[in-house]
Amino acid sequence: MSDISILIVDDEPDVREIISRKLKKTYTTHTAESVDNALKIISKTNIDLIITDLVMPQKDGLFLLKHITKEQPQIPVIVISGNATLSMAIKAMQNGAVDFIEKPIDDLNIISIIIEKALENSKNKQEVKRLKTLLNQDFDSGEVIGKSVAIHQVMEKVKRIANVDTTVLICGETGVGKDLFAGLIVKNSDRKNKRFVAVNCGSIPESLLESMLFGHKKGAFTSAFKDQIGYFEEANEGTIFLDEITETTPAFQTKLLRVLENRKIRKVGDNYDIPIDVRILTATNKNLVEEVQKGNFREDLFYRLNVIQINIPPLRERPEDVQVLAESFMKNFANKHKKPLYRIAPKTLDILLRQYWKGNVRELKNVIEHAVVMTVHDALLPEDLPAYILAAEKGVYQTEVLNEYFNLEFASAKELFEKRYIVQLMIKTKGDVSQASQLSSIKRQNLYEKFKKYGIDPDKFRE
């Protein structure tokens, strides 16, 4: 039995007994025949979740729900009823109920599934609250925006390592904002008032990379007409950020390894080393372990750079961040282009939530700017979105997405499709599990099993 306590509130003794018997093998259960009795138990006992009937004599379940939402909002409440009207059920959801179950409950397993999902969701909310509290203590979050647990965990890690003067490797797909997190580390470090030099290694020709980073002496090569300091020397006492570090050659990697080991640089054409005091941050959109195995990246350099690793999750794995990011971008671009925008239309938001976002946050940002520029309304409508987004909505799927299925074995492709199908179902029904069950002909219990399997939270799709 776990230490999680569940309170069952119902004026029918049989209902209390049946549900309690089902749950007490896993949880500690308490029962109450009335709201007043329930409130007494809550005042004396730590309750983690409440299951309450809606229709009861005197004070009803809605009264209890409102009280809990106001006084102890961290406790999830599941409502059950066989006599409640549709409007009562809707009102219960609007007042904070995490789910609604109709009586008679034919399959008691569904209660266990809903409880597990509700407790996990509650845990995630408390984790976000905890992380926000930690981050609010002398932490500058800069331009990083998001409300997902994943992004708050990354920011909490940034806070912990910002003042630890060591190398950091930032990993993530193209467009997730690796440069933004590099800047966040600097902004919260002891070197924040010193120079911060960002270098995209992939954009500098290999023949110039060593000279650009380490500097050169006059006459070192044909166009070296004078001594030139490099980015490392420019960043002395500050921080240097080397983006796309995997785009460098093994020969250059050897020289960078020497800098990391000796904390000295040597200009091209010089015979003397120059001591430097620089914190080094690097980033890549590739799997460095695989690059090492392929022989494209030095293993000893990988270990030197990988002292602290920060992984930025792709946008498709944190859909709860899409709306807050889109709204922030809309406000910024509306101000930039002098547009009186104040909202994103619900249908437009539905479309944005359905996208795969191969280009991640950067792609979303570009899509929103396009929409802001093109709109003639005071809100962003579907027709304001780029053509390729609307084409995907009509079923003209991007080649990359189709290839993703064809590159998988059948079983894996089937799972990927099923996960996306369930997500689309939740978007379409706005998180209404009953409606989703009717539309898809998938039993509610089976839907909840799929939610658990794929880590899908219906609550996140509710308006």
Domain assignments of the chain as residue spans, ordered by start: 5-127, 149-313, 317-461
Task: Specify whether domain 149-313 bears CATH 3.40.50.9100.
Answer: no
Residue of 169, 264, 277 whose CA lies nearest to 215: 264
pLDDT of residue 463: 54
* 47 pLDDT above the threshold of 70: yes
Mean pLDDT for the stretch of residues 241-249: 93
Coil, strand, or helix at residue 317?
helix
Instruction: Using pLDDT thresholds of 50, 70 and 90, give the confidence band for residue 169.
Output: very high
* 168 pLDDT above the threshold of 90: yes
* 356 pLDDT above the threshold of 60: yes
Compare 149 and 192 and report the one with higher pLDDT: 192
pLDDT of residue 397: 47
- In angstroms, rounded to a whole number, what is the distance separating the alpha carbons of residues 83 and 229? 79
User: Out of 41-45, 57-61, 406-410, 416-420, which region has the weakest mean confidence (pLDDT)?
Assistant: 406-410
| Cβ atoms 382, 347 nearer than 8 A | yes
Compare 408 and 152 and report the one with higher pLDDT: 152
* 270 pLDDT above the threshold of 60: yes
* 42 pLDDT above the threshold of 70: yes
* 154 pLDDT above the threshold of 50: yes
- In angstroms, rounded to a whole number, what is the distance separating the alpha carbons of residues 383 and 248? 43
pLDDT of residue 258: 93
β-pairing, 274-275 vs 264-265, is antiparallel
| Cβ atoms 388, 395 nearer than 8 A | no
Compare 212 and 221 and report the one with higher pLDDT: 212
Q: What is 5-127's CATH number?
A: 3.40.50.2300
What is the tens place of the pLDDT at every residue in 62-104? 899 999 988 888 899 999 887 766 677 778 888 888 888 877 7
pLDDT of residue 225: 83
pLDDT of residue 132: 56
Burial-class residue 275 by CB neighbours within 10 Å (0-12, 13-18, 19+).
Answer: exposed
What is the tens place of the pLDDT at every residue in 2-38? 688 999 999 989 888 988 988 888 899 999 999 999 9
| Cβ atoms 101, 111 nearer than 8 A | yes
What is the tens place of the pLDDT at every residue in 381-431? 999 999 888 877 665 445 555 666 677 777 778 888 888 888 888 877 878
pLDDT of residue 170: 97
Coil, strand, or helix at residue 81?
strand
* 136 pLDDT above the threshold of 90: no
Compare 458 and 332 and report the one with higher pLDDT: 332
Q: What does pLDDT average to over the chain? A: 86
Phi-psi region of 393 (alpha: psi -120 to 50; beta: other; left: phi over 0): alpha
pLDDT of residue 396: 45
| Block residue for tokens 């789910």 | 99
pLDDT of residue 74: 86
Q: Chain centroid to CA 313: how far?
A: 6
* 214 pLDDT above the threshold of 70: yes
Tokens at residue 278, please?
Answer: 């620089």
Q: How far apart are the first and last CA of the chain?
A: 35
Burial-class residue 409 by CB neighbours within 10 Å (0-12, 13-18, 19+).
Answer: exposed
pLDDT of residue 415: 83
Compare 407 and 370 and report the one with higher pLDDT: 370
* 354 pLDDT above the threshold of 50: yes
- In angstroms, rounded to a whole number, what is the distance separating the alpha carbons of residues 38 and 43? 9
* 369 pLDDT above the threshold of 90: yes
* Same fold? 5-127, 149-313: yes
Compare 346 and 239 and report the one with higher pLDDT: 239
Mean pLDDT for the stretch of residues 299-322: 92
pLDDT of residue 130: 62
User: Out of 40-44, 111-115, 390-394, which region has the weakest mean confidence (pLDDT)?
Assistant: 390-394
Q: Across-strand partners of 49?
A: 6
Q: How many CB atoms lie within 10 A of CB 227?
A: 14
- In angstroms, rounded to a whole number, what is the distance separating the alpha carbons of residues 88 and 346? 25
**Percent share of the chain, pLDDT over 70:** 91
Q: Which CATH number fits domain 317-461: 1.10.287.130, 1.10.1740.10, 1.10.8.60, 2.60.40.10?
A: 1.10.8.60
Instruction: Using pLDDT thresholds of 50, 70 and 90, give the confidence band for residue 137.
Output: low
* 367 pLDDT above the threshold of 50: yes
Tokens at residue 130, please?
Answer: 């905890």
- In angstroms, rounded to a whole number, what is the distance separating the alpha carbons of residues 14 and 12? 6
Tokens at residue 92, please?
Answer: 């219960």
